Amino acid sequence: MNIIEFLGLTRVESLAGVIVFFGLLFGISRLPKKKFTFAARVLIGTGIGTVYGLIVWGLSGRTGAYAADLGRWFSLVGNGYVSLFQLLIAPVIFVAGVRLVIHTPLVKTETPLIKWKKWVNTLMLAVSALIGACLGLCFRVGAAPGADTAVFSWEIGEGQKITDSIAHLIPSGIGFDFLTGNVVGIFVFAVLIGIAARRMSGKYMDTVKPFLDVTDAAFSVITSVCKAVIAYKPMGAAAVMAAFTAAYGPAFLLMLVKMLAVLCAASLAMLAVQIILCAVSGVSPAAFFRAGKAAMKKALVTRSGSACLPDAQEALTAGLGLKKEITDEVSAYAISSGMQGCGAMFPAMAAVFAAGLSGLTMTPALVFGLVVVIVLVSYGITGVPGTATMAEFGAVMGSGITGAVNGLGPMIAIDPIGDVPRTLINVTGCMTNAIIVERRVRE
């Protein structure tokens, strides 16, 4: 065996292509942080990987040998990077879930505000996830152009009943859940641990205090790990796009453009739902947009829901005259634990895209399971950096379609673009939740 075969190549010129590829990755890693924002560096990596992949696809011609050679190395780096998120999601949800519960104030009886806040947040997340999944299936996101593969089927096969989907979500032992990626089971176990620790803290604080401190320390460490992995997104995006464009050619770009277009359509649909619910609660669409105009504009520019929260809260109180103590609490809760764009709509559509790209057919039971998983995961990743990315991996792994995980790679590449419409829905969503809850509590 010569060195070329050892490297998994069939021709000498392929070795030059591999060297160029790693040279491009090194160049992307050296992009000056002061000159380029992180989003800009991700898009630069996406662009470089796309161009290089198209060049490889074009040079391969009909045989595709050159693309096959380099594709092995593109996929090695791209899928390797995607696997890091797959590795992180289980410990992230466990630690974040425990921390979420122990930091939730312990009350003997829930006030109407707390009850309405939780119910409205949960239902809005479910609606947003359902809209994302349904529009993704309707427009066949992830399916190759011209392909006649079914992305959805009403036919119920073996193991595809709703009872099977629910059974899959039931905890089966923490070790087994970690191995299989059952994020719902992991989250349930985390909640039970958190409830026990919080209950014991009332009488045995000295005994429980070390556990509480370890949980906070573990959360700080795991978020630091997440930030470290996310920092490599520009290189990961380049490798992912090089792999897919070298394999599919320009057709893959059309798939991503359609995905972004459908995401915008889903955002408009969810915004329409929010406006209707606000109107039912006594706030007209004109008043909603007039009061929230500044927050919405800021959302489109900053792509940060947290940065827009003060503007949204001011719109609710000064602009709409609602009770500040209610709207501030509900909107802050929704922007941290109930992001309807990043935590629900986008992960649902990303899961459908990954399933379509992998040739999997969704069923009603899978869609139901997907929505349930997304709602629970949105609470389990509270405070974790890279919310949308973590949520989409949690959605795919938790719903049992782990074979589609690698199909989430392109979502990393277009993340800065998709972040614009989904952040808008985060902001309008927190305002909508606050309006609904304020009206119900006032009544």
Bridge partners for 152 per DSSP: 362
Predicted structure pTM score = 0.91
**How crowded is the C-beta side of 291, counted as CA atoms within 13 Å?**
25
78-120 pLDDT, tens digit each: 999 999 999 999 999 999 999 988 988 766 667 888 899 999 9
**Nearest 5 degrees, angle CA 148-CA 152-CA 154?**
125
- Domain presence at residue 61: no
- Domain presence at residue 174: yes
316-325 pLDDT, tens digit each: 999 999 999 9
The single residue listed with the structure tokens 């992995």 is 229
Residue 148 CB neighbours (<10 A): 6
Cβ pair 438, 323 in contact under 8 A: yes
The single residue listed with the structure tokens 């780096």 is 77
- Domain presence at residue 178: yes
The single residue listed with the structure tokens 């992949």 is 53
Cβ pair 182, 171 in contact under 8 A: yes
Cβ pair 429, 340 in contact under 8 A: yes
Distance separating alpha carbons of residues 210 and 212, to the nearest angstrom: 5
On the question of pLDDT at 297 being above 90, the answer is: yes
- Domain presence at residue 30: no
184-213 pLDDT, tens digit each: 889 889 999 999 998 888 788 888 999 999
On the question of pLDDT at 159 being above 60, the answer is: no
Residue 303 has a pLDDT of 86
Residue 3 has a pLDDT of 78
- Domain presence at residue 103: yes
Cβ pair 365, 411 in contact under 8 A: no
Q: Is 249 left (phi over 0), alpha (psi -120 to 50) or beta?
A: left
Distances (CA, A) of 212 to 148, 194, 195, 199, 222: 53, 9, 12, 12, 15
Percent with pLDDT over 90 in the chain: 63
- Domain presence at residue 237: yes
On the question of pLDDT at 158 being above 60, the answer is: no
Contacts of the segment 331-336: beta carbons below 8 A, 24+ positions apart = 331/430, 331/431, 331/433, 331/434, 332/430, 333/117, 333/121, 333/433, 334/121, 334/124, 334/429, 334/430, 334/433, 334/434, 335/305, 335/306, 335/309, 335/426, 335/427, 335/430, 336/306, 336/382, 336/383
Q: Which stretches within 103-204 are classed as H helix?
A: 112-138, 162-169, 174-180, 183-200
Q: Name the residue range of residue 290's domain.
A: 76-442
Residue 207 belongs to domain with CATH number: 1.10.3860
- Domain presence at residue 379: yes
35-85 pLDDT, tens digit each: 999 999 999 999 999 999 999 999 887 656 788 889 999 999 999 999 999
* Residue 380 or 367, more confident: 367
Domain count, the chain: 1
- Structure token digits, residue 85: 């998120």
- Domain presence at residue 27: no
The single residue listed with the structure tokens 């000159």 is 35
